[in-house]
Every structure is written in C-alpha cells, then in structure tokens.
Chains A and B, each alone.
Chain A
C-alpha cells in the first residue's frame, strides 16, 4: 500500500485537524462512475460545481474545484474500472473523494510526473492521456491524498478551501 500526501502550507494546520477528526459534512453528494463511460464522464464534477456555485463559492475557487474534480473523474473513467465519487461539502471547504475499482497505481510518484501516462489509444484519441491529470489536480487543490496499490483500488481525495490564500 502506497500513500501520497500534498499539503498547501497556508492551510496545512486546519487541513491536518480535518483529516484526524473527519467531521460530518453539511452536504453529501454521491455519484457512480461507469468504466469508459465517456458520454457521462464529467457529470459528477459539473453537478458538484453547480451546487457550490449556488452556495456562493468564489468564481476562481469554483474553477479550481471543477478542474481538479473533472481530471480525477476522467481518471476514474479512463484508467480504472469506474467507481464512486463523493462530494463532502463543509462551511469552509469541500473534500471530494474518488474511490475506484482498480487496478491501482504501480508507482504514485511516477504518476505525478508531468508527461507520464499509461493511457491507451482510445483514451488518447479523445484528447486525454497527456500525463497532466495528476499534476493538474495537485496544482489546483489545497490537500491531495492518494492511497493505492498495484492490483487494488485507488482512493484519491482532495480538499479545497473556499477562501483565498492569505
């Protein structure tokens, strides 16, 4: 089992206490993702974004949430056998979890390197597989946590605060 953590220093303290306590969210949004379902892929991210927009989340923050969520949703569709997505909304931040059905990642650090991709021809033809998904997620989030092992399921979750870095 391999784990990867990234924390944006500005929110590290608050974020750490969240991951220790895992409080109950105010709103929960659940979605099921089908393997290679490129027609509906992106729908979950789009709905989470719309819900947060209605709650008045800042435009730039919304964009970061949507991009990170969409990239992770595409990963679950293209690289895994589908899975689940849960959007947990809190007053100050959102935590979105992507729990796929495998086959897991061989080397998380390697997958974080821009340009590294295991995408096949079908996925590349659709404009994916540039090897920028995980780096793009990391760039847009305040916390990124990945838990994966080869042959098993992958959990990717990220946290984004609704206020800007001070």
Chain B
C-alpha cells in the first residue's frame, strides 16, 4: 500500500515526507512502549504511536521504519520534525485513536509486521 493511500484513509496531516507519498508500505506495528517497538520490528515497518518525544525518532536509527503515524491528534514539536527531516523519515498525524487507526489500515489490507 502506498503512503499516500494511508494518509488519505487516516484523514491525516503530513508533517514530513510530502514527496514520499509513492513510498510502498508493507507492514505496520502499533505501540507506545519503546522496548516493545524494538523487540517487535524485524523488518521495515510503519510505526503507529502516541509517543512524541525525541526518542521515537531516534528509534529509526536502530530499526528500519518506513515512517511514523502519530495517533489521537498528537503533534510532535518542531525539534522532532527537524530530526525526522534530517533522516528523511515521513511523519504523519491523525485524529483517530490507535485502535481505530490500526483497524482502518488492517481492513485496507496492511498486514502486521513479523514479530
């Protein structure tokens, strides 16, 4: 599924990565726990999270992330946006909850990443 389709389905705002809408997203994982995210992402993954501190971006130095979807209307600070720009890491934000976001993407056929 393309990132652009995800943005549309989640009625999301794109904070970083407006030129990455053609990027192919193959799987996703949702969590607010850093250790869980590290433990469960063994392949490139779209991350759904409510965490908006710098460490969520730092994670992409350790594991391969297609991008991050901030759920329930969370907006990261400018500092975090800049960190993502430096890494070419797409950031989008949706008003939907983690549960609803996951459900929408799952129904559209986006599979869960291998854990």
Chain B interface, >50% SS class: helix
Asked if B39 lies at the interface with its beta carbon under 8 angstroms from chain A, I say yes
How far is it, in angstroms, between the C-alpha of A49 and the C-alpha of B59 when the chains are bound?
A: 12
How many interface residues does B have (CB within 8 Å)?
20
How close is A29's CB to chain B, nearest CB, in angstroms?
A: 15
* Residue in chain B with minimal CB distance to A139: B39
How far is it, in angstroms, between the C-alpha of A63 and the C-alpha of B55 when the chains are bound?
A: 17
**Interface contact A127-B32, CB-CB below 8 Å:** yes
Asked if B63 lies at the interface with its beta carbon under 8 angstroms from chain A, I say yes
**Interface contact A136-B39, CB-CB below 8 Å:** yes
The residues in B between 51 and 67 inclusive whose CB is less than 8 angstroms from any CB of A are: 51, 53-56, 58-59, 61-63
Chain A interface residues (CB < 8 Å from chain B)? 38-39, 41-43, 45-46, 49, 63, 66-67, 70-71, 74, 126-128, 130, 132-133, 136, 139
Chain B interface residues (CB < 8 Å from chain A)? 32-36, 38-39, 42, 49, 51, 53-56, 58-59, 61-63, 79
List 22 A-B residue pairs with CB atoms under 8 Å apart, sorted by A's residue number.
Answer: A41-B58, A42-B58, A42-B59, A45-B61, A46-B61, A46-B62, A49-B62, A63-B63, A66-B62, A66-B63, A67-B38, A67-B39, A67-B63, A70-B38, A71-B35, A126-B51, A126-B55, A127-B32, A128-B35, A130-B34, A132-B35, A136-B38
